[in-house]
Chain A
Amino acid sequence: MIDQFALALGHGLLAAALLRLALRDDVDADPLVAELGEAGAARRRAASPTGRKAARRAGRAVPGREGIGAQSGGQAAHAGEGDPALKQRSDSAGKPAQAAKRRAGDRAQAAKR
């Protein structure tokens, strides 16, 4: 009786655990590793000559955005350097253009003040 109870409990929990595991998406690809990898790739792309050219072209194509567009490559690469949050918050690094834009906005606000 005790053996049957122990076997039933153990196997029941194992069955539930394995089912939950099988239904998860992060079993085969780790989201954190993937996110860091993507952020690194995005930075490398932005920092590469092709990336910088593309950023400049994008800046010229949108009137009034030359400054931001020309800056975005370098800014994106710069984002996070010396920033302790880089180690912990890789989410902002995944979107370099937005981060650069936000920083440029902050600087403009500070200059106004």
Chain B
Amino acid sequence: MLDLVFLAFIAYVLVLGIKRPFVWVLLYVYIDIVAPQRIGYSLITSLPVSLIAFAAAFGGWLVLDRKEGARFTARQALLVMLLAYCWWTTGSADFPEEAATKWDWVWKALLFAIFLPFTLTTRARIEGLALTLVLSVATIVIGTGIKTVLGGGGYGSLNFFVNDNSGIYESSTLATVSIALIPMIWWFTRFGTIFRPHWMVTGFAAALTFACLLVPIGTEARTGLVCIAVLAVLLLRYVRRRALFIAAAGVLGLAALPFLPQSYYERMATITQPSGDESASTRVAVWEWTIDYAKEHPFGGGFDAYRGNSFTYVMPVREGEGNTSSVRYKKVTDEGRAYHSAIFELLGEQGWPGLAIWLMLQGLGVVQMERIVRRWKGQGDETPDEREAWIAPMAVALQLASLVYFVGALFQGIGYQPVMLMIIGLQIGLATYCKRLDSARAGLARSAKAGAGRARRKAASPGAVAAG
């Protein structure tokens, strides 16, 4: 039954795409995030729905799209470089089979991120992609939020639609992505044109934000808590009443404390005392190993190079109960421990060149969005034109998404996370759109200037006076 519902939805979007082929691009975005082929049980699992959607998206763009204003940008060039570099390191990887498995999804995610900006040529398309991203993630987050409220949370025990701990269905990744998208959710309450600003839109945004904030609690993902704190600090730059915002955040945080389970406190305590937790304490050891590895392999060891690591460290283990508990230190040997950081993931797998490309990709996005905010927010008290007022807030939402993701990525190996690559695509699309507006305006101003010069020359010449 579930399979039929998914297939009916996909067929419905494919039919809509006959009128507007861009919708097929959004279909791929939905399939890539929600992964209905992994949620279903029978028929849909045997169909290559992702391939069908990509073929429709790319074919539709190639054959039917006007491609007006589509440009190849510097950040797309960086994505191409990263893709080519990953392909090269996969060929000489330390673990060829595992590297080939990861390469199999990474190249698709990178290729789609390169392709996506070519399709984002209008405001409606930029908004359509943003809305599809939000609603696709919302589909997962809503269920997670309700389960958390009803007491179904816990580290490693909260059930998603898919329980293979991969992609966006990995608890820390979902926590990071859901927190990163909160500013974008609120953008729709003011500037949405697909669902116009309405109390129902605001109500849904508030409920969804609450669900997003519950994800780190339900999954007990420490990174999620760090991301919430970072987002709160970053928002201070944009809120009008800072004191009220800080007070409200404090009150909300305090009000939430009695409802949090004891296991959540215990897990969060390991943020400041990483030595007491295996997952946290091994991170530092893996990062040190990666730096040493990069000294020997400056050009990277290919995907999953971490499988070659092995290290022994001492970890405190608490035994007994109540007053009789004692702490014993035991030696733990770990092998093939994952990077737990996108920075070290890129460093170990793609070496210094790959890390440099990735950092430039992320950094340029933040800088580019900052430029757009400054250019389009309006001069002084003057508010921008109604048709352009959405640009600066969208750039703010995308910049915050990038920064929150970057902080989250410091503690997780999510360097090639498809949702965040789509955010990069969205940033490039917005920047290209703004450049088109600017260039059209510059053309208008140039022709006005030239005309004015001609009029002045004409007025100055005696012939013109006689004629006039």
Contacts of B131 in A (CB 8 A): 17
Given contacts A18-B13, A30-B122, A36-B437, contact A47 B143 (CB under 8 A): no
Question: Are A47 and B450 interface neighbours, CB within 8 A?
Answer: yes
Task: Give CA–CA (A37, B121) in the complex, Å.
Answer: 14
A64-80 Cβ-contact flags toward B at 8 Å (1 or 0): 00010010011111111
Which of B133-141, B266-274, B330-338 is the interface stretch?
B133-141
Does residue B292 face the partner (Cβ distance < 8 Å to A)? no
Kindly supply a per-residue 1/0 record for chain B positions 356-388, scoring 1 wherever the CB is within 8 Å of any chain A CB and 0 otherwise. 000000000000000000000000000011011
User: What does DSSP make chain A's interface, helix, strand, loop or mixed?
Assistant: helix
- For B128, what are the chain A residues with a Cβ–Cβ distance below 8 Å? 17-18, 21, 27
Complex: chain B residue closest to A76, CB-CB = B451
User: What 16 new A-B contacts, CB under 8 Å, besides A20-B195, A74-B455, A87-B441?
Assistant: A6-B140, A7-B143, A11-B5, A27-B128, A28-B66, A30-B121, A31-B387, A33-B122, A36-B443, A43-B444, A46-B451, A47-B450, A70-B468, A78-B451, A81-B449, A86-B445
Listed stretches B17-25, B175-183, B399-407; interface member: B17-25
Kindly state whether residue B454 has any CB partner on chain A within 8 Å: yes
Could you say which residues of chain A place their CB within 8 Å of the CB of B447? 40, 43-44, 47, 77
Q: Smallest CB–CB gap between B109 and chain A, Å?
A: 21
Evaluate contact between B452 and A81: CB separation under 8 angstroms. yes
**A52 to B: closest C-beta gap in Å:** 8
Q: Are A7's CB and B436's CB within 8 A? A: no
CA distance A28 to B20 in the complex (A): 8
Contact B448 A81 (CB under 8 A): yes
Residues of B contacting A80 with CB < 8 Å? 444-445, 448
Candidate in A2, A10, A17, A18 with the most chain B CB atoms within 10 angstroms: A18
By the criterion CB–CB under 8 Å, are A33 and B12 in contact?
no
> Could you mark each residue 28-52 of chain A with 1 if its beta carbon is under 8 Å from any beta carbon of chain B, else 0?
1111110011011001101100000
Tell whether A2 pairs with B150 under 8 Å between CB atoms, given A33-B69, A77-B452. yes
Complex Cα gap A75–B17 (Å):
46
B288 at the interface (CB under 8 A from A): no
* Residue B26 is within 8 A (CB to CB) of chain A in the complex: yes
Assess whether A112 is interfacial by the CB under 8 Å rule.
no
Are A39 and B444 within 8 A (Cβ)? yes
Task: With both chains docked as a complex, state the minimum distance between the C-beta of B219 and any C-beta of chain A, in angstroms.
Answer: 15
B68, A29: Cβ atoms under 8 Å? yes
Majority secondary structure, B binding face: helix
Task: Tell me if B236 is interfacial: C-beta within 8 Å of chain A.
Answer: no
Shortest CB distance B417–A (Å): 20
Is the C-beta of B80 less than 8 angstroms from some C-beta in chain A?
A: no
Contact B161 A36, beta carbon cutoff 8 Å: no
B451 — nearest CB in chain A belongs to which residue?
A77
CB interface residues, B 75-134, toward A, < 8 Å: 121-125, 128, 131-132
A104 to chain B, nearest CB (A): 13
B124 touches A18 (CB 8 A): no
Expressed in whole angstroms, the Cα–Cα distance for A52 and B123 within the complex equals 36
Is B451's CB under 8 angstroms from A10's CB?
Answer: no
Closest CB in chain B relative to A34 CB, distance in Å: 9
* A9-30 to B contact mask, C-beta < 8 Å, 1/0: 1110111111111111011111
* B254 interface contact, C-beta 8 A: no
CB of A109 within 8 A of chain B?
A: no
Q: Which residues of B contact A16 (CB under 8 A)?
A: 195
Give A80's nearest chain B residue, CB to CB.
Answer: B448
Which B residues between 450 and 464 are near A, CB-CB below 8 angstroms? Answer: 450-452, 454-455, 458
Does the CB pair A77–B455 fall under 8 Å?
A: yes
Nearest 6 Cβ contacts at the A-B interface: A77-B451, A10-B139, A6-B143, A36-B440, A74-B455, A30-B122
Instruction: Verify A40–B132 contact, CB threshold 8 A.
Output: no
- A-B contacts, 15 of them at CB < 8 A, read A10-B142, A14-B135, A18-B132, A19-B16, A21-B22, A21-B128, A29-B122, A33-B433, A73-B451, A74-B454, A76-B451, A77-B452, A78-B455, A81-B449, A81-B452
Is B28 on the interface with A (CB-CB < 8 A)? Answer: no
Question: Within the complex, what minimum Cβ distance (angstroms) separates B165 from chain A?
Answer: 17
Measured between beta carbons, the chain A residues less than 8 angstroms from B147 are 2
By the criterion CB–CB under 8 Å, are A6 and B146 in contact? yes
- Structural contact, A40 and B135, CB atoms closer than 8 A: no
- B257 touches A (CB below 8 Å): no
B196 to chain A, nearest CB (A): 10
Query: Which residues of the other chain, A, contact B65 by a CB distance below 8 angstroms?
Result: 28
Q: Chain B residues with Cβ under 8 A from A31's Cβ?
A: 387
Question: Separation in Å of the A43 CB from the closest CB of chain B?
Answer: 4
Among A5, A15, A46, A74, the residue within 8 A (CB) of B146 is: A5
